[in-house]
Structure 1
Amino acid sequence: MIKFDHRGPVLAVIALSLSMIASSAAAQSFTFTGKTAASDTVQVAPGQPWDETRGYGFTSLTGGNEQAFSVAAAPGDYRVTVTLGGRTASRTSIWAEDRRLLADPVDLKAGQTKTLSFTVNVRDTVLVEQETDPSPPSVRLRGDDALGRDWDGRLTLSFSGPSPALDAITVTPVQARRVLLAGDSTVTDQASGDYASWGQMLPRMLSPDLSVANHARSGETMKSFVTSLRWDKLLGDVRPNDVVLIQFAHNDEKKQWPRTYAAFDQSYPAWLSAFVADVRQHGGLPVLVTPVARRIFKGPVIENSHAGYDDAVRDVAGRLNVPLIDLTRQTTQFYEALGPEMAAWAFADNHREKTHHNAYGAYEIACFVARDLSALPGLDIKAASDLPACDPVYPPDPKAFVITPADWPIMRAKVDQGAEPVPLK
């Protein structure tokens, strides 16, 4: 029986047909211990390096603390099923691509196993060809983009921890509903050092049936997001009923960047409105997000370094009837609740940063986003069944954070780490 939903009968039939096609695609299964091997399962030797011809292999950073396994994969969404555990006790965290968190540390006793499933988005730089283009255009990568795992035509899974134990992996193409992210360095997949963003923690906070496609990039403004073709790429990946989260301002507000500066009372709201119109034109559901606050205290109170920009987002959301997630307000509450000294424990560069977060700060903010997103009417977005309790007014102790330094994967050598944008003073 065909079930019609709120997207309308035509879109429902299309979605059902695509889902049936995707589900019939061949799965790829790999075993790393041999004990669960079937006739169609590939036995992978310990540390077997990536091979272009085979289309699979380990791509771990030399001298790093992770086991990274890659599979050649065309752009799209994949259902990934992972079995952890082995003969000895283990502790394993699971990440995808450039350090997108899929699972908190899993502690298993000797002989125990646990199977988990997720949806992972894979993309490349090529855009859909346009009538006026002599050849397909591509996203303009910059900085350390080309060194990362987000644009390389592979699906990469990373297993980290003091004693990770990988038993088996199955990868199957699927047609999943997407949550796409547009934004800057506070949203992007951070792969360097102890930097993290709420965007890369979001997959762990949402239902594993959803595919989180993080198109955000450090240093981006709305203007540069368009001129670098990142916005075109994102829009090309939007399907009816997909959700698009939009959070900018950190760099748009920089007058020292005159080419991309957008005043909060002039072009900034116009750009926001245009982004909303673009998403709706493609059948997507836009959600506006106010920028995360910077850690700039005046006594016990956070100074709003985004003054005018956060209100502009709220105004556009109200005027265009767009759902809103107010991270400026919630992160301000979060830092103030921690206090001037302890709030530093939510930030990167060994707590010296005032703009960019570490794993703890990003994890908490992603929880705020997932909680609010799942509560917004008309979106039908489900949070993870084990979504942590998160309240910006009552933050948990950062010193008791579930992801310890030993669990945090190192994916980028220091010599390859791209510079982060300098916080606005």
Structure 2
Amino acid sequence: MKLLSLTCALVVLAVSLVLSPEPVSADPAGTDFYDTPVADLDAYAPGAILRREPVPQLDVLGSHTERILYRSADPRDRAVAVSGLLITPTSAWTGPGPRPVIAYAPGSYGIADRCSGSSVQGMATTIPALLPLLEQGYQVVTTDYQGLGTPGEYEFLGRVAGARAVLDSARAAAGETDAPVVVYGYSAGGFASAAAAELASTYAPDLSVVGAFVGAAPTDPVLRVEGQDGTGTAATMLYTIDGLIGAHPDRAGEIRSLFNDRGRAVLDAVLDFCTFDAYEYGKLRSEDLTADGTSLSALMTGPVLGSLTAANTVGFTAPIAPVMIVQGVHDSSVGIEQSRLLAQRWRAAGAADVTVREFDFGTELVPAFDHTAANAAAYPEAIGWIERLVARSSE
């Protein structure tokens, strides 16, 4: 019956998004939900909801969906407004304590504002992934990340920015309750979930973070670039560089000087990329884009980018909550060595509860299958794992 209800919900969702006469990003009052400035933003506490609007097209499985704007803090501790979705089941929570919160970190749909997770494009991909969590009666909140959809620069795979966006979304959902929180992310979202797990005890000690699900996370920027170099989506290698330029505008000239004219043109072009736009450039080699023919992965450990890369590498701070790391062994989007290295680093740092689950689908001939398949295959075990964490938190 649960499988049937999920299937029906997916069909309803797809039809509603396609047939909706109005863009679901439109504010009922006609104002711009994302761009309208928030007065006295600094006066709000992290996680405070600044603006909200219903998104009835997404009310599936007996839930109420809202687009929210909430207060967070960027890596320089400046107040920023971040957008996302808050989905609350309408039925009463029958478990012990307050309703648990899943702070869901979406994967990457690109780095242009139009690719944000609460946009039409982002929701069509994200919402189906949330249905198994909503089916359990959990409240789910998602983040668009700092500067994605909202004013400001989006730091792709930025450790501090991503972690704070996720943790403050959890604050927005939990409100004044002590609801157990599980951070949950896959792919680029897995990176943000892993970063949130590391920073939770210091940035958000008020939250009851009881666990973190980390799927196929590119937590080592150098390995990510090496894995993308020369592939059909190689242009996405430069997402990270554009993010660093946005996060460190005082060093923009220095960073851009590492690239030749063609490289700088690609840097500029990918700022408006969503998921499939990267294929336009084909199998780029980073050596053909840099000023001196050095590979991008080598530059990322060099004098200009080395310290910035290190600051955005996850794995050297032990999470205090249990973590589950999941990935397909033949994943061609994020190499399996990423998950293995993350587990190794966390354990070496003193993490006491790290569960690793690898899936071998025997898909060497179709390796792209593994990246998304592992996310779906992990749900039964992940749901049981979350249930145990939630139950333990109420003891």
More helix by share: 2
| Range into which the TM-score falls when normalised by the shorter chain | 0.3 to 0.5
> With CA pairs under 8 Å and 6+ residues apart, which has the higher RCO, 1 or 2?
1
TM-score w.r.t. length of structure 2: 0.33
Structure with greater Cα Rg = 1
More strand by share: 1
TM-score w.r.t. length of structure 1: 0.32
